[in-house]
Structure 1
Amino acid sequence: MATNETPADPPAPASWRDQAVARSLDSARVRAESRVQRFLDAALELMNDNATGKEFTVQEVVERSGQSLRSFYQYFGGKQELLLALFEESVRSTADLLGDKVAAEPDPRERLHLFVVEYYRICRPTSRGATRKAPARALAEFAQQLLTAQPDEAARAFDPLVTLFEGVLKDAQEAGVIRAGVPLRRVAGVVLEAIMFNAFSSTIGGASAGTKTDDAAEELWGLIFYGIGAPEA
């Protein structure tokens, strides 16, 4: 059917000034990202160098990065903001890793199961003498502090992981694996917290720190998926 609408004019080409400014901004952005990454890499190296992963100073980060203290404070307000940036990077990389794993599983129920047990394995503390490096425990402890002290910051940091898990739950709901009407976003957050805290609570329930990770992950999966209520008569 013919219309009387006039075709929109093509956008005017950017002026040389606009193009020059855009190139300048792009170059500045790349330099800033490079500087920030050098600070993050330096902090991770320092976390790897000590037993707790937390015993380092801003000055040590600056010296390890080969940059200036002034440059550090252009990007971070202090050590807390640096830790937050490291934690956000950790969450994004975890979401990417889990996203790749669940994407390879076609069955919605097994995809949900896979997400729960794999995230548990990621959160699980390493036993003494194992090879995992310090940042994993230090960042997990930081996450728990963040959830109680700065919940808004925690919500923003966890968003990639919550969004991914929400999608896994939505697929399971549409397939009839979980009941209709479940508030997916809220449930995603609750389950993620349950997995993370359970992975570190080796004493509250009397569980041994030496409990096999796979066994503990499957126990948690059963509790999350089936609950503890007896079926109604």
Structure 2
Amino acid sequence: MAQKTELPVSTTKEEPAWKQRAVERSTRAAKIRAEQRVVQFLDAAQAIIAEKGSLDLTVQEVVDRSRQSLRSFYQHFSGKHELLLALFENALSESAEEIRAATETEPDPVGQLQIAVRLLFEQSHTDQARQRRPLFTDFAPQLLVSHPAEVRVAHAPLLTLITEMMTRAAEAGQLRTGLRPRRAAAMVMQTAMFLSQSNGVAASENAHPITVDEAWEFCFSGFAGPGAVTGSATSQA
């Protein structure tokens, strides 16, 4: 009768709890430092863009302004393009947060959409938007052609927020029959942003720029169903 050979039992040695805590603490500290360095680079780049009024900046200028090293920059960004993309994504994310906060007290879905369109449009007329304008008027169109996937990712927070509003409008019978909320949200978002961005390009004194009221009425007429009414008191405040 053949003897049964027992296979050795392999055991995985667990790291002591103190060592796991030390590693986690070290990783967390390194992450915080990395985030702080990234913010410094972004702030430096934003300041240079605001001063120049264009995207004509170099990596070295950003490094010098941030008072960090070139080595540190390339640890976080592959180059100028990725830095500008980070600024672009950050600007759109901030826009979504501003709109969400502004619409929290508006109960009517169409009222929420009106606030969203107005804010998207008017952002190009604020001091903060003027600092970001080259990102939208110069960088965004280039990015749309060369890196469409990155554009979709950057616009995701805004699109998600406006889709939520469109969905509530559809549930309330305020959306035109057959119009899908997400597609309607994409069209409204792109229309409002394009109109506001293009308004800043004309230099002629005789030009008649499109107003925020015109932009809203145009968007409203495109998605509104029979149950929708524009111009709630809250949304006009």
TM-score by length of 1: 0.80
Q: Could you tell me which of 158, 161, 164 is aligned with 1:164?
A: 161
C-alpha deviations, 1:120-161, integer Å up to 9, x for none?
Answer: 111x4x5xxx95675321111212222222110000011111
C-alpha deviations, 1:198-233, integer Å up to 9, x for none?
Answer: 2233489x996554x6xx2221222222249xx9xx
Identity over aligned residues, as a percent? 40
Aligned to 1:140: 136
User: Structure 1 residue 119 and structure 2 residue 120: aligned?
Assistant: yes
User: Structure 1 residue 96 and structure 2 residue 84: aligned?
Assistant: no
Q: For the pair shown, which has the larger CA radius of gyration, 1 or 2? A: 2
SS in 2 for 1:177: coil
For residues 139 and 113 of structure 1, do their structure 2 counterparts lie closer, same or farther at Cα, with a shift above 3 Å needed? same
SS in 2 for 1:49: helix
C-alpha separation between the residues in 2 aligned to 1:18 and 1:109?
A: 52
Aligned to 1:7: none
Is the contact between residue 53 and residue 135 of structure 1 (CA under 8 Å) also seen in structure 2?
no
User: Structure 1 residue 175 and structure 2 residue 189: aligned?
Assistant: no
Aligned to 1:150: 147
RMSD: 2.6
Q: Could you tell me which of 197, 200, 213 is aligned with 1:200?
A: 197
- C-alpha displacement of 1:53: 2.6
Is the contact between residue 49 and residue 132 of structure 2 (CA under 8 Å) also seen in structure 1?
no
- C-alpha displacement of 1:179: 3.0
C-alpha separation between the residues in 1 aligned to 2:216 and 2:70?
A: 46
For residues 92 and 227 of structure 1, do their structure 2 counterparts lie closer, same or farther at Cα, with a shift above 3 Å needed? closer
Aligned to 1:34: 36
Aligned to 1:58: 59
User: Structure 1 residue 78 and structure 2 residue 79: aligned?
Assistant: yes
The count of aligned residue pairs is 206
Q: Could you tell me which of 207, 211, 217 is aligned with 2:212?
A: 217
- C-alpha displacement of 1:181: 4.3
Is the contact between residue 59 and residue 69 of structure 1 (CA under 8 Å) also seen in structure 2?
yes
User: What runs of 5+ residues in structure 2 fail to find an aligned partner?
Assistant: 1-15, 227-237
Write the letter of the residue equivalent to 1:201.
Answer: S
For residues 217 and 139 of structure 1, do their structure 2 counterparts lie closer, same or farther at Cα, with a shift above 3 Å needed? same
TM-score by length of 2: 0.78
SS in 2 for 1:201: helix
User: What runs of 5+ residues in structure 1 fail to find an aligned partner?
Assistant: 1-13
Is the contact between residue 117 and residue 216 of structure 2 (CA under 8 Å) also seen in structure 1?
yes
- C-alpha displacement of 1:187: 2.2
